[in-house]
């Protein structure tokens, strides 16, 4: 891996600019598709994508993250527009969401990003990869009823991700299939080591060749009715006939709704969901970064908040950092935030000056690019690596993948996260089983070694272990290494000391107190509190 040049914004131009072009080509249909799924004007998705590049990228601390409208918010946006009655009223809620995100960032709420287990994040990446791959197969065959950017299992066209694959043969379209096959051959060839020896193949990105080929074949196929592409099989940016018509596509918030409490409820809802998705994608992007840079989450929340405030003022959908475009950026060779910035500028240029040219790009060409992106995200090597880490890592990883594939991104992540937390709780419960009844030798003391810290999570295990101590035993609690103690744990041990005499169990302390005599519950609490000790059991 080549050394990264950090001396200037344009120092990695030969890597960042081509990557920005590829991300632009992928982002445009995704923005349009998410707008369609959200029940919002098509132009609003493009506005959000432009803001994500031109504004958010410059403020953000993420080197490779790309922001724009997110599929995870589509359902919320659709319901919010219907509830409020107009898109202009909804824009006011977007501004509120942005303000809330800025406040969250200033309050350092981004720290939550550090609590996502690695297994869940890796499962998220692989799950998204599988979803991208499956969703693009119909587009590669020329069936485009489900819009780009829809990552949910249940689709707008009445099918789901898997059932869609069973009907694509009924809509087989030779033109898109030819474009898809040729595009995949080019992309696969471009990845081969022997090809990269030549300067031309290192300077020109494979996806750019694929898109250029797609445009050429689209024009060529117009001479053959059997191969001619339909309007639904190409990108479809709204075309303004004049600059005035272009400006007319922007929308303004309806400030007369400032007294509507639903605006603020929806604003907070959007802020929370958008922030969660941003932090998840931020963590995932850092893991994909070949230079292993770590982006500041609080700064990212502020950047996203500012972006959403601007989006609300000029008619854009709410935005987050998005993993599909971020991973495309990384796999296209992007190195710094300049690639994301270029993607925003290029989107603006395309929308204003080149809509007719962009509308020549076949969706099949973009499907080929995303098929490769999806395959790389869900590579077998990643799955094998996590499997080799053991069941504790692999099960949350696998459950997260299945959750994302069969529901949606946020639901799948939530399922994986709940399972990971449950596993932690279960391990804490088992950690307290410091006494093995089968290994007990009558007459010998049972020594319980207490480690530095233990939380209320140990309560169930400690209580069960103390209950299993045999009657008439001699128990030594060694607290010489302890630092602090939780009141709930104190209460459990205190109650055990009070009832131990009835079972002829002798309890002695070492390290914590010098006295060997029994103490009452209150005295024990005060003694442990004085020494600032928490009991964490550890098997010996």
Domain, as residue range, for 489: 437-538
Q: How far is CA 471 from each of CA 148, 155, 475, 510, rounded to the nearest angstrom? A: 68, 63, 11, 21
Instruction: Please report, rounded to a whole number, the percentage of residues in the chain having pLDDT higher than 70.
Output: 88
| CA–CA gap between residue 46 and residue 430 (Å, rounded) | 52
Q: What is the DSSP letter of 147?
A: P
| CA–CA gap between residue 429 and residue 396 (Å, rounded) | 18
Residue 69's closest CA among 55, 87, 51, 49? 49
As for how many domains the chain has, the answer is 3
Q: What is the DSSP letter of 477?
A: E
Question: In this structure, are 371 and 449 located in the same domain?
Answer: no
Cβ burial of 203 (10 Å; 0-12, 13-18, 19+) is exposed
Q: What is the pLDDT of residue 317?
A: 97
Consecutive 10-residue averages of pLDDT for the chain (540 residues): 72 92 95 92 96 96 95 91 95 98 96 85 93 94 89 86 91 95 94 80 85 96 94 90 86 95 96 95 93 93 98 97 95 94 96 92 95 91 89 90 92 89 70 55 76 66 77 80 72 83 85 44 47 38
**What is the SS3 assignment for 105?**
helix
Question: In this structure, are 228 and 369 located in the same domain?
Answer: yes
Residue 4 belongs to a domain: no
Question: In this structure, are 468 and 407 located in the same domain?
Answer: no
Question: In this structure, are 374 and 443 located in the same domain?
Answer: no
Question: In this structure, are 29 and 67 located in the same domain?
Answer: yes
Q: What is the DSSP letter of 272?
A: H
Residue 519 belongs to a domain: yes
| CA–CA gap between residue 370 and residue 136 (Å, rounded) | 7
Question: In this structure, are 79 and 199 located in the same domain?
Answer: yes
**What is the SS3 assignment for 420?**
helix
Question: In this structure, are 462 and 512 located in the same domain?
Answer: yes
Residue 80 belongs to a domain: yes
Residue 320 belongs to a domain: yes
Q: What is the DSSP letter of 169?
A: G
Q: What is the DSSP letter of 2?
A: P
- State the DSSP H helix or E strand holding residue 537, giving kind and residue range, or none if neither: strand 537-538
Residue 473 belongs to a domain: yes
**What is the SS3 assignment for 319?**
strand
Task: Give me the residue label for tokens 């692999």.
Answer: 394
| CA–CA gap between residue 289 and residue 299 (Å, rounded) | 18
Task: Collect all residues with Cβ–Cβ distance below 8 Å to 354 and sequence separation of at least 6.
Answer: none
| CA–CA gap between residue 204 and residue 457 (Å, rounded) | 55
φ, ψ of residue 237 to 5 degrees: the values are: -80, 135
Question: In this structure, are 340 and 323 located in the same domain?
Answer: yes
Question: In this structure, are 337 and 397 located in the same domain?
Answer: no
Q: What is the pLDDT of residue 42?
A: 92
| Radius of gyration (C-alpha) of the chain in whole angstroms | 29
Q: Domain holding 491: CATH number?
A: 3.30.750.24
Task: Say if pTM beats, i.e. exceeds, 0.85.
Answer: no
Concatenated DSSP letters of 425-451: HHHHHHHT----GGG--TTS-EEEEE-
């Amino acid at each position: 891996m080549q050394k990264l040049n950090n001396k200037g914004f344009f120092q990695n131009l030969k890597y960042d600019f081509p990557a920005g072009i590829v991300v632009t080509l992928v982002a445009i249909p995704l923005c349009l598709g998410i707008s369609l799924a959200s029940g919002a004007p098509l132009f609003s998705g493009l506005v959000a994508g432009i803001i994500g590049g031109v504004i958010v990228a410059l403020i953000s601390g993420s080197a490779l993250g790309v922001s724009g409208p997110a599929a995870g918010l589509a359902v919320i946006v659709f319901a919010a527009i219907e509830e409020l009655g107009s898109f202009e009223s909804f824009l006011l809620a977007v501004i509120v969401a942005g303000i809330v995100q800025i406040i969250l960032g200033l309050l350092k709420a981004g720290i939550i990003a550090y609590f996502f287990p690695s297994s869940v994040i890796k499962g998220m990446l692989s799950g998204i990869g599988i979803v991208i791959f499956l969703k693009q197969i119909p587009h590669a065959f020329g069936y485009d009823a489900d819009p780009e950017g829809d990552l949910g299992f249940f689709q707008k066209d009445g099918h789901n991700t898997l059932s869609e694959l069973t009907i694509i043969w009924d809509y087989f379209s030779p033109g898109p299939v030819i474009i898809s096959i040729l595009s995949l051959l080019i992309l696969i060839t471009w990845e081969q080591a022997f090809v990269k020896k030549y300067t031309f193949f290192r300077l020109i990105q494979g996806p750019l060749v694929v898109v250029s080929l797609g445009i050429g074949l689209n024009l060529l196929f117009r001479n053959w009715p059997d191969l001619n592409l339909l309007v639904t099989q190409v990108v479809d940016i709204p075309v303004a006939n004049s600059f005035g018509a272009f400006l007319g596509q922007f929308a303004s918030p309806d400030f007369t709704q400032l007294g509507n409490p639903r605006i603020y409820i929806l604003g907070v809802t959007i802020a929370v969901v958008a922030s969660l998705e941003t932090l998840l994608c931020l963590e995932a992007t850092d893991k994909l970064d070949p230079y292993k840079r770590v982006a500041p989450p609080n700064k990212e929340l502020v950047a996203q908040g500012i972006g959403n405030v601007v989006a609300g003022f000029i008619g854009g959908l709410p935005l987050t950092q998005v993993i599909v475009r971020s991973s495309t950026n990384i796999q296209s060779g992007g190195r710094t935030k300049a690639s994301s910035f270029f993607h925003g500028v290029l989107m603006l240029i395309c929308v204003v000056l080149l809509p007719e040219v962009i509308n020549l790009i076949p969706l099949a060409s973009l499907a080929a690019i995303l098929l490769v992106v999806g395959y790389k995200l869900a590579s077998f090597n990643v799955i094998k690596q996590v499997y080799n880490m053991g069941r504790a890592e692999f099960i949350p990883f696998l459950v997260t993948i299945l959750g994302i594939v069969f529901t949606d991104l946020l639901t799948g992540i939530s399922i994986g996260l709940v399972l990971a937390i449950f596993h932690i709780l279960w391990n804490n419960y088992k950690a307290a089983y410091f006494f093995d009844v089968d290994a007990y030798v009558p007459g010998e003391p049972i020594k319980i070694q207490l480690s530095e810290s233990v939380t209320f999570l140990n309560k169930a295990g400690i209580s069960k272990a103390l209950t299993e101590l045999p009657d008439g035993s001699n128990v030594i609690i060694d607290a010489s290494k302890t630092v602090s103690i939780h009141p709930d744990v104190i209460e459990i041990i205190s109650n055990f000391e009070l009832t131990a005499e009835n079972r002829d169990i002798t309890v002695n302390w070492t390290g914590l107190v010098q006295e060997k005599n029994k103490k009452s519950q209150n005295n024990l609490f005060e003694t442990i509190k004085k020494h600032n000790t928490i009991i964490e059991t550890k098997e010996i």
